[in-house]
Structure 1
Amino acid sequence: MVSGAGDAGVWRGRVPVSDDGGATLRAAIHDACGWTSVDGSRTAVIELAEGVHRIDPLADDGATGAAIVISDAARVTLSGPQAELLFTDPHREAITIRRSTDVVLDGVVLDYAAPSFTQGLITHVDSEASRFRFVPEQGYPDFSDPVLFTGSGYGTLRDPRTGGLKPDSRQTFMIEYATEPDADGGFLVTVEPSDRGWMSHIEAGDGFVVGHRGDRHGIRVQESESVTLRSVTIHAAPCAAILAHESSGTVLQDVTVARRPGSTRWISSNADAVHCQGGRRGPLITGCRFEGMHDDGVNLYVHALTLSGLAERTLVLEGDGPVREGDLLQLVDAPTGAVLAEVEVSDVVASEPRLVIVDRDLPASVEVGAAVYNRSNALPGFRIAGSRFHDFRGIGVRLKASDGAIEDCRFENLSGCGLWIANDPGWSEGPLGSRDVVVAGNTFRATPADESLRTWPHSAATVMIELFDGSDGPAVGRAHARVTLRDNDIEQRAAAAVFVGGAAEVSVEGTRIDRGGDAWLATRDSDITVIPAAGRAETDA
């Protein structure tokens, strides 16, 4: 490696292609972080040489850490416009960026040498027993891998000729499976009771994919600020392609998550393309392409804290996630989904568990056990623009954030709905109600594609706005507010093109509908204004 400090306070290092398993790259990162830590005006650039850099896991990380770690860094750029980082262990996270600011990954391709999911063919179906036999394709792991497969989860039906989701069918099945093969290398898979009504959609000769779901991601951004991924391509990840946890102002510019061209793979990442859990400022996602994931495109939310004690204006809060003076807290009765109060934090007492003083008396309906969402830490100010979401199992964007926009995107051939603005009580993902959101100039085609989801409450529309209680039923109240849907073009596949529930001040303007149902708009307990598109028939919005 050749390195040196430039006249302008810029350290530059070049990492050649080598057979050292990433040791030179790790050393360059260490030196770059050390250089910038001395003076806040210093920057560092690490340049990856053209070619494939094979990255092995660290031998002493307890089998849980990432292969590459950028920690406590500032003003560091890793650049490789013609470089690929090929990670050799499919059980490990690829890159972790933690407690860092102004870190940039530019132009790098990230892939795994071996997939962390399995795919293959269904060779026999026993509908009466709700079972089928699955034979993994050569070169893919099988259910005997105890790290990737735990005996239960979900799988997706595939067209084996293309690897795409099987059309005109239920596409996702909850399953249990044997973790030891039969004499011919096949595995017995049992469909869970919740999905057995769709057994007729499973046929011998179908393709099938089962992915790993854990906590090891392609790129993890942890407790960091202003991390930028620019022109980065991710072909595979053990869980989400990109996970940002308690991180603010993450920028994704011209990022691609997609299956490797020319490979036989049927999916890219095992979970979401972009999964953001909490942050003071939402992500900026522009010019991106998300394809082939085994779950959603983008998911923005904050986890709930738990109210474990209450005395006048003092709250005892348990759980992870920052709370600061001036934050707006939302208290929710989780079983009913009712918003009990929203209060501002006056003071935070350093203790364990935390004591939080709020600015007003709480209503009698607030009791110990309530869920508490920090709206100020729920990724406000997000923007998703000029991006394409296509050909994957899941929902295009799951949104629980406010003060943002989704503009000029294209959503097509997704198993679930294109846009889902709602809380997710099963995972304590909220808060309840997105506010001051603009959805404009987007195109929705062939979504939801999963036949079984077109009348399911969570996906009964291409664009879904709703509040859910703890049983995934409709919650009381109108927590969504000031949501504008403007100049969107929707091919209606579900019961409705647009569903609005639990919302106030929703405006649906100039929407163009290619109708496929009896009604393009369905509503529940909401205040909606509809402004037709100029020159359109009265049956269109």
Structure 2
Amino acid sequence: MNLSQTKIFLFLFCLITFGVFGQVADTIKVTQFGVKSNSYKNASKGVKQALEKCKGKQNIVIQLPGGRIDLWPEDAVKKEIFISNTTESDTLSKVKNIGFYFDHLKNVTLDGNNTLVVLHGKMVSFALFNCENIKIKNIRFDYERPTMSEVTITSVSPTAIRMKIHPDSRYFIEKGKIGFYGEGWKSNSFHTISLDKEKNLMRYSSFGPFLNSKATQEENRTVLFEGNFAKANYKVGDVLSIRDTYRDNCGGFITLSKDIVLSDVKMHFMHGLGIVSQFAENITLSKVVVAPREDSGRVIASFADCFHFSGCKGKILVDGCSTSGAHDDPMNVHGTHLKITEITADKKIKVQFMHHQTYGFEAFFAGDSISFVSPQTLKPIVLGKLKSAKLISKKEMELVLDGEVSDKVSVGNVIENLTWTPEVTVRNSRFERTNTRGLLLTTRRKVLIENNVFYRTGMHAILIANDASSWFESGAVNDVTIRNNTFEECAYNSGTIINIAPENHELVEGYYVHRNIRIENNTFKIFDKPILSARSTDGLFFNNNTINPSDLLTSGSNENSFALTACKNVVIKKNRFNTTWKPKIITFKMTNKQIKTDIKDLNTK
């Protein structure tokens, strides 16, 4: 062995022996705390003890035993959590049951060893508070009784319908009426979405006709409903998924944490909302799958969104992921506009959370840069920096500026947190089987969406919004690239495939909410003509895309492929339309000088 080889050998030896952090990684096995695979006993206490063992230590690997382990709320960590887009009613408890609770931990890896973790009752799979450099890998989560009930229509007539109840969906029939229940809960409402399995299309539906009919138990989990179904829109083979609308939980939760990686994680069911990252920094989702277990026979894996990022910063990377079976959007990235309710003589500013699902957490911190924004126009008024910020009630914060409060600022304006805005990359991923949108993105930093497949999303495959009057989800985008993606038969429920739709209710001449959006080298397979709609955007490029036809559904009445409102510096060129019809562009509140295109049919209104 020569000198160079010796040096390489010593380097590798030290790397393996002492680990990347300069010390041997300690392994904590949950079996040391009484957790046994395939025992079907409550492992919550042992998991909790294993994670508590990590406190004060670094470079720890927590190893699960493989097979299956079960977690019940009993002996699990219980913590009050206010979660963005999830909080809802003031009257109900916000205490959550947490399966894997990471609290002030650093340099810890949870190695699932391909373990299936089965949750009982309503539980958060994992939650990270004030953590740094945490990796969760090679693990699967599911519910023993998903809070979504699933049924399949087996026969249909004007006076009777039969359905077969999925084995995982517990139900009862009382006085001729059906109801659904689970571990510690009973459905109080019946929000219903249907899946056409033959075409893989999800649509809003109704369970009302079944509730207004007589239910009779038959063999093999089949229920006969007798009533008036003459106008009902059900067909044999359709799968109905039914749930309450109240979001009182989430699949996973990451807050006030930094450098978090989820790798080879499978979420087979999530209740309330999906994996929520809230005021966290640098989040990587690599090969994260949201889908039912293949052997489960279920079609739905998420009660609402799959990946939700609220008020994050640093870099968000979603790479090699897939989602299938969600009652809401696969991914949402946004900030939160808070409304000014009071400006005091001592220059303190009181702001309030406005949407009923979002409140109870700190949305600003000392040192943050902020923007005062007009809610009607979404135009920034002035910028500022915070000297202090504190939560003074569940729905209010008190802010003190580092400097004077401009006389341009008034009660009723909203404030966006500019510091907590992330760069976003979504690549090599697949999004399918949802009745709503694909990706919702509102962040002022760089966004790259590339090499993804959007398959039959019910509404827009991509929505870029920003509003201060409905969801209060901020903010404007300045640099978005959408390239080398495949959009296959999207927007069959409503809308265009890509929608740039800021909710600025008043247009300001010369001001544009969004900027620099490039849509290039994508492939669109479309059954209807609308492709892109945009509003109040400066710098919009739709170039070198390929548009292929599909006969999935009958085309609608909208003849316009592109609809533009009050936009500037628009370029639509060199796109290949392999269709029997020619594309059309319609514009509103803009002139032909503001668009460059090789499409001949341009209608300005």
Q: TM-score range by the shorter chain?
A: 0.7 to 0.9
Aligned match of 2:53 in 15, 21, 31? 31
Q: Which moved more, 1:100-109 or 1:18-27?
A: 18-27
Residue in structure 2 matched with residue 48 of structure 1 by the alignment:
64
User: Does residue 347 in structure 1 map to residue 378 in structure 2?
Assistant: no
Residue in structure 2 matched with residue 375 of structure 1 by the alignment:
418
User: Does residue 145 in structure 1 map to residue 181 in structure 2?
Assistant: yes
**Deviation readout 1:18-52 (Å, 9 max, x if unpaired):** 43522333222221234x2xxxxx31011222312
Residue in structure 2 matched with residue 106 of structure 1 by the alignment:
137
Preserved contact between residue 546 and residue 575 of structure 2 (Cα < 8 Å): no
Q: 1:507 is matched by which residue type in structure 2?
A: F
SS of equivalent to 1:209:
strand
Preserved contact between residue 152 and residue 177 of structure 1 (Cα < 8 Å): no
The root-mean-square deviation of aligned C-alpha atoms, in Å, is 3.6
Aligned match of 2:350 in 292, 316, 322? 316
Change (3 A) 1:478 1:208: same
**Deviation readout 1:321-363 (Å, 9 max, x if unpaired):** 1233251324232xx4543524121522668441332667646
Residue in structure 1 matched with residue 317 of structure 2 by the alignment:
284
Preserved contact between residue 338 and residue 472 of structure 2 (Cα < 8 Å): no
Identity over aligned residues, as a percent? 17
Q: 2:139 is matched by which residue type in structure 1?
A: V
**5+ residue gaps in structure 2?**
1-17, 79-94, 172-178, 218-222, 354-360, 550-554, 584-597, 600-605
> Which structure has the greater CA radius of gyration?
2
Change (3 A) 1:156 1:512: same
Equivalent pairs, count? 499
Preserved contact between residue 466 and residue 474 of structure 1 (Cα < 8 Å): no
Displacement of 1:441 in angstroms is 1.5
Residue in structure 2 matched with residue 15 of structure 1 by the alignment:
30
Preserved contact between residue 149 and residue 180 of structure 2 (Cα < 8 Å): no
Change (3 A) 1:535 1:183: closer
Measure the CA separation in 1 of the matches of 2:370 and 2:528: 36
Measure the CA separation in 2 of the matches of 1:189 and 1:338: 53
**Deviation readout 1:28-80 (Å, 9 max, x if unpaired):** 2221234x2xxxxx310112223122222234766732122121111100112
Change (3 A) 1:536 1:236: closer
**5+ residue gaps in structure 1?**
37-41, 191-198, 454-459
Aligned match of 1:529 in 549, 552, 570? 570
Residue in structure 1 matched with residue 8 of structure 2 by the alignment:
none
Measure the CA separation in 2 of the matches of 1:270 and 1:189: 29
Measure the CA separation in 2 of the matches of 1:444 and 1:257: 20
Change (3 A) 1:144 1:257: closer
Displacement of 1:510 in angstroms is 1.7
Residue in structure 2 matched with residue 402 of structure 1 by the alignment:
444
Change (3 A) 1:100 1:326: closer
Q: 1:488 is matched by which residue type in structure 2?
A: N
User: Does residue 79 in structure 1 map to residue 111 in structure 2?
Assistant: yes
Change (3 A) 1:98 1:202: same
Residue in structure 1 matched with residue 487 of structure 2 by the alignment:
444
Instruction: Map 1:187-226; keep pairs closer than 5 Å.
Output: 201-203=233-235, 206-212=238-244, 213-226=246-259
SS of equivalent to 1:107:
strand
User: Does residue 416 in structure 1 map to residue 459 in structure 2?
Assistant: yes
**Deviation readout 1:351-404 (Å, 9 max, x if unpaired):** 84413326676465x5323332213223x2111111111122221101112322
Residue in structure 1 matched with residue 473 of structure 2 by the alignment:
430
Preserved contact between residue 215 and residue 225 of structure 2 (Cα < 8 Å): no
Measure the CA separation in 2 of the matches of 1:415 and 1:350: 40
Change (3 A) 1:202 1:238: same
Q: 1:139 is matched by which residue type in structure 2?
A: D
Q: Which moved more, 1:521-530 or 1:347-356?
A: 347-356
Preserved contact between residue 181 and residue 187 of structure 1 (Cα < 8 Å): no
User: Does residue 482 in structure 1 map to residue 492 in structure 2?
Assistant: no
Preserved contact between residue 343 and residue 358 of structure 1 (Cα < 8 Å): no
Measure the CA separation in 2 of the matches of 1:370 and 1:175: 41
Preserved contact between residue 388 and residue 401 of structure 2 (Cα < 8 Å): yes
SS of equivalent to 1:29:
helix
Preserved contact between residue 269 and residue 293 of structure 1 (Cα < 8 Å): yes
Measure the CA separation in 2 of the matches of 1:222 and 1:279: 9
Aligned match of 1:264 in 284, 297, 303? 297
Change (3 A) 1:77 1:120: same
Q: 1:103 is matched by which residue type in structure 2?
A: I
Change (3 A) 1:528 1:157: farther
Aligned match of 2:193 in 156, 159, 164? 156
Residue in structure 2 matched with residue 518 of structure 1 by the alignment:
559
